[in-house]
Amino acid sequence: MPPSSERSAANFLAGPYLDRRAELREDPRWLESARADAETLFLPARGTALGVTGDPPTAAFIDHSHTIVRSSPDDSWVLLGWFRERRCVLVQLDEQAIENDSRDDALRFEELRPLASTLSADEAGLLAYARALTFWQLRHRHCGVCGSPTQPTRAGHVMTCRDPSCATEFFPRIDPAIIVLVSDGERALLGRQASWPSGRYSTVAGFVEPGESLEDAVAREVFEETGVRILASDYHSSQPWPFPSSLMLGFMATAAPGSVVEAGSELEDARWVSRDEIAAGEVVLPPHTSISHRLIAHWFDAGSSVPLRTLRTRSWGSSPPRGKAASG
């Protein structure tokens, strides 16, 4: 079990970067207050692409006088909370909306996934939060009960059916997924998907099913994907993963020494990997910003005099690919 200080450390995209001030979503005058506050930070988005500027990129915050803010309808705004001690509002644009004005030629809209690791940790977390809310709203434009159009309420955090006789409320959806580092003591269990370049491996992961506990999901996914039966599992940490709407729940698990591995249908290969093989760069590890890398590092460091972060190991991409064995 990791020390309490290590366990409590926030993963990338997580942490106290924002004061959400959820109670203010109930204030009917929140829009008026946001417009009147010259200090309000507005974050523009087009679909799931978010406003950024500069190189390396930073979040493209604009103020209340900007063309985008002045021309945007009230129902395109979402109160995110207080960021860097200033009110922060997401402004969602349609595909034909103006991208910039003459004062802001550098504003552009890009998808977060390839950018996340180049942003500061607090901006990456904020943009991940904004993207998750945007994705959810875009896919809940109609009521799942009666089919009528929906409208954002409670400062954009609820989608409510417009039909007064129905008025069903829909809340942001989050898909829980487990991600687990399994060890038999001296080796770690890693897998790879066929679509990945040669040498790329990651930890086992998969979605939690209805009526299933997290511990049951860990045991099921490991067996389905690798044929290995685990003896015990222990929660480690979590990471929000808005691609599109997952929450990765990280676990450490143990298996009996000598357990035989047989890759399931979702994986091209699954294998036991020793610390020496990792140190020698025989497998390409997930990126340092991922929870999968953190789980591997925790196991590696527990049995090595040299921390994994100090070694010149190979890691892939700026962000891990979406998949059953590589989310997070």
User: In the predicted model, is pLDDT for residue 156 greater than 70?
Assistant: yes
Tell me the domains of the chain and their CATH numbers: 18-138 (3.90.79), 174-310 (3.90.79.10)
pLDDT at 313: 72
Asked which of 56-70, 87-101, 151-165, 290-304 is least confident by mean pLDDT, the reply is: 87-101
Given a cut of 80, is residue 328 above it in pLDDT?
Answer: no
Between the two ends of the chain, the Cα-to-Cα distance in Å is 20
Alpha helices in 51-120 (DSSP H): 67-71
209, pLDDT greater than 80: yes
pLDDT at 222 over 60: yes
What pLDDT digit, counting tens, does each position of 267-277 carry? Answer: 999 999 999 99
Phi, psi of 22 (to 5 degrees): -60, -25
Q: What are phi and psi for residue 165, nearest 5 degrees?
A: -75, -15
Q: Where are the alpha helices (DSSP H) in the chain?
A: 4-8, 30-36, 67-71, 121-138, 214-226, 275-279, 291-302
Q: What is the pLDDT of residues 169-198, one digit of tens each?
A: 999 999 999 999 999 989 999 999 999 888
pLDDT digits (tens, 9 = 90+) for 76-132: 999 999 999 999 999 999 866 554 444 456 899 999 999 998 999 999 999 999 999
Written as six digits, the tokens of 77 are 């705004």
To the nearest whole number, what is the mean pLDDT of the chain? 91
Tokens found for residue 227: 């044929």
- Of 3-12, 26-35, 78-87, the range with the lowest mean pLDDT is 3-12
Mean pLDDT, residues 31-60: 96
Q: Report pLDDT digits (tens) over 230-246.
A: 999 999 999 999 998 99
The closest alpha carbon to 79, from 26, 1, 147, 136, belongs to 26
Spatial CB neighbours of 295, under 8 Å, sequence gap ≥ 6: 179, 180, 181, 203, 236, 250, 251, 252
Closest CA to 184 of 106, 114, 257: 257
Residue 297 corresponds to which tokens in the numbers above?
Answer: 């590092």
Please state which of the ranges 31-35, 209-213, 291-295, 317-321 shows the lowest mean pLDDT. 317-321
